[in-house]
Structure formats: structure tokens, C-alpha cells
Amino acid sequence: MNPKTLAYRLASAIEARANCIELGNAEWQQRHSDTIRELCRELPHGSGFDNGSHIDLDRCTPTRLVFFASYHHMTEGAYSGWSEHVITATATFTGLDIRVSGRDRNGIKEYIAEEFSGCLASIPELDMTQRWQARQERLACLGDDARDARKDRG
């Protein structure tokens, strides 16, 4: 998986957050949660995803991302109901395997899979502050000794 894609960045932040939970590092757990929340702004929203898309952190792992979304269907120009879906993106040797659960009203599952596939393969823009913060977040979960050793090496 390309380390610049939204999927990779989410998986990395989720793994770092889990490590901080395990180590009891509440400050960095919150920072990783904030990073995940910021990255999730890139998920499909609008154009039928009228309630947005949301990540299910309890079901995510470093190799599996789980989202839920409601889709607002239209028939003849009027809204005609909702369908609920769980979207699971699993890392494979060739990229991501996207599965969509829920009712396949009007063939919507294929469209949802395409939207999430494109979104997760996208490369979100990071400004310099975010890049610095991302580096600091990676170092924070290594512990003081490892961080000091890296500083000594430059």
C-alpha cells in the first residue's frame, strides 16, 4: 500500500492510537484520534452520502478499515429512502479489497465500493505543520529512549 494514501495514513494512525492505548499514553492517544478525525473528512460525503461516512475504530486494525455510511436514494427527482451500509477495506498484496454490506437497492453497493476505493486510494494534502506533527506522533509512541537515540543520530 502506498504510504501516502488516505488508507495507509488512516491505518498508521489507528495502529499508533492502539499502541498508545496499550501503553496508557492518553495525550498521544488523543492526538492520534484527532489525526484520524481530520483524515476522515476526506471520506465520501454529500451526493447521497447525506449523513457523511464514519469510521468504526473498534473494528479497525492496521490491515482492515471499517466504515459505516447511510445512502439517501432518489427516485424520479425525489428522495425515496435510506440504505445502511458497512464498508470494509482490507489490505491485500495488490491494494485494497473493498466489501460493502447492506441492501443492494438499485445496485448501490457497487457505487459505494467505487467511491470508497477512489477515496482511500487518494493522496490527501498535508501542510508542513501536519507533516511535523505526524513525525512527532510516530516518535511519541516509540518511547523516550528511542526518541533520544534518533535525536542523537540527527
Cα distance between residue 150 and residue 154, in whole Å: 6
Q: How far is CA 21 from the centre of its chain?
A: 18
Predicted confidence band at 124 (pLDDT cuts at 50, 70, 90)?
A: confident
Helix boundaries (H) for 24-103? 26-39
pTM, rounded to two decimals: 0.78
* pLDDT tens sequence across 62-86: 999 999 999 999 888 888 999 999 9
Q: Over 50: is that where the pLDDT of 147 sits?
A: no
Q: CB under 8 Å to 72, separation ≥6 — which residues? A: 48, 49, 50, 51, 79, 81, 82
Give residue 148's pLDDT.
55
Over the stretch 14-23, which tens digit does the pLDDT of each residue have?
999 999 999 9
